[in-house]
Structure 1
Amino acid sequence: MTATTFTPAYFNELSVGTLPAHMGIVITAIGERTLSAHFEVAPHLLAPNGYLHAGSVVTLADTACGYGCIAKLPAGAANFTTVELKSNHLGTAREGVVVCTATLVHGGRTTQVWDAVVSDQASGKTIALFRCTQMILYPK
C-alpha cells in the first residue's frame, strides 16, 4: 500500500465490524505525522456513574495512534502491535463530541512512539494525555 491509500475513508472502512466502529469512532484527518479522530458521547461509552468511561477514552486514543502507525509503517514492515500504553485522565465528558489528535513522536524501524491528546470539542478542555509504543512487525 502507498501512503495515498491511507485516507480517513480507508480507516473508517477498516473499522467496520470492529470495536472502533461499535464505539462510533470516526477518523477525520491524516497529516504528515498526525491522525485525528472523534466520537459522539453516547450511553454505551459511559461508566455506571454517568461519566465517560476511561476505557472509551483509551480506545479512542489507541485507535488514533494505531491507525497512525499503520499509515507510517517503514518500508518492508507488515504490521505492528502495541507493547506499552499510558494515559493520564484530566477530565471527562457527559455529552457532546470527544476529539483526539495523535502525533508521531518517534518513527523508527523497530518501534514507533505516539502521543495523543483527547479533548472535549466544545470547550477545548483536555480530557486525557496518552502515549503508546508500538513494535513494528516484519514478515518472516
Structure 2
Amino acid sequence: MTDDRAPRPTPTDATPEQLTELGAGRLPGMLGITVTAIGEGRIEAEMAVTPAVLAPNGYLHAASVVALADTACGLGCRLSLPEGTSGFTTLEQKTSYLGTARSGHVRTVATLAHGGRRTQVWDAEVFDEDGLRIALFRCTQLML
C-alpha cells in the first residue's frame, strides 16, 4: 500500500468530476461527497445519507454536515486563489444547525462572501432532500 499524503493539484479549468476525484481515498471520498456544479465563486456538492454518516442516535452526524460544507468551501477556495498564493489554511469555521436528515441526500451550496488577497470568507448552506435548509456554515481562509 502506498502512502498518498502529497497535496493533489487542482486543475484551473476543473470539472465537477475532477474536483470529486480529488477526494478519492481521502475523507470526502470516504463520505461519498460529489461535486455537482461549479460557478464563479460558487460550488455545489452532495452526499448520500447512509449509515456511515449517521451518529449513533440515527440522525445525520454534525461532523458529516461540516465535512460536506467544508469540502465545498475548500474546493471553491482552491479555484479562487489569488495570483501569487500557493494555497490556504483555515483560520476559523462555524456551523449553525437548523435541522437534520435520516435518509436520502443532503446538498450544499458554497459561495464566496469575501475574496481578498490575504483572506477569503466562504458561506455554505446545507439542505435536505426536500430542500429544507438544515445548516449554515462559514469559514475564513488565510491565503499562503
Q: Which TM bucket (shorter chain)? A: over 0.9
* Cα deviation code 1:9-62 (max 9, x no counterpart): 221111111000000000111101100000000001000000000000001000
Matches within 5 A, 1:80-91: 80-91=88-99
The corresponding residue for 2:66 is 58
Aligned to 1:128: 135
Gaps of 5+ in 1: none
Q: Does 1:68 align with 2:76?
A: yes
Structure 2 unaligned spans of 5+: 1-9
Q: Distance in 2 between matches of 1:2 and 1:45?
A: 29
Is 1:32–2:40 an aligned residue pair?
yes
Per the normalisation by structure 2, the TM-score is 0.91
Cα shift at 1:3: 3.3
CA RMSD of aligned residues (A): 1.1
Q: Which AA in structure 2 matches 1:27?
A: V
- Give SS of 1:20's match: helix
Question: After the TM superposition, which parts of structure 1 deviate over 4 Å for at least 4 consecutive aligned residues?
Answer: none
Q: Aligned residues: percent identity? A: 58
Q: Which amino acid aligns with 2:122?
A: W
- Which residue of structure 2 aligns with residue 16 of structure 1? 24
Q: Which residue of 2 aligns with 1:3?
A: 12
2:104 alignment partner, one of 92, 96, 103: 96
Partner Cα separation in structure 1 for residue 92 and residue 71 of structure 2: 14
CA distance in 1, matches of 2:55, 2:15: 32
Partner letter of residue 15 of structure 1?
G
Partners of 2:92 and 2:142 lie apart in 1 by 9
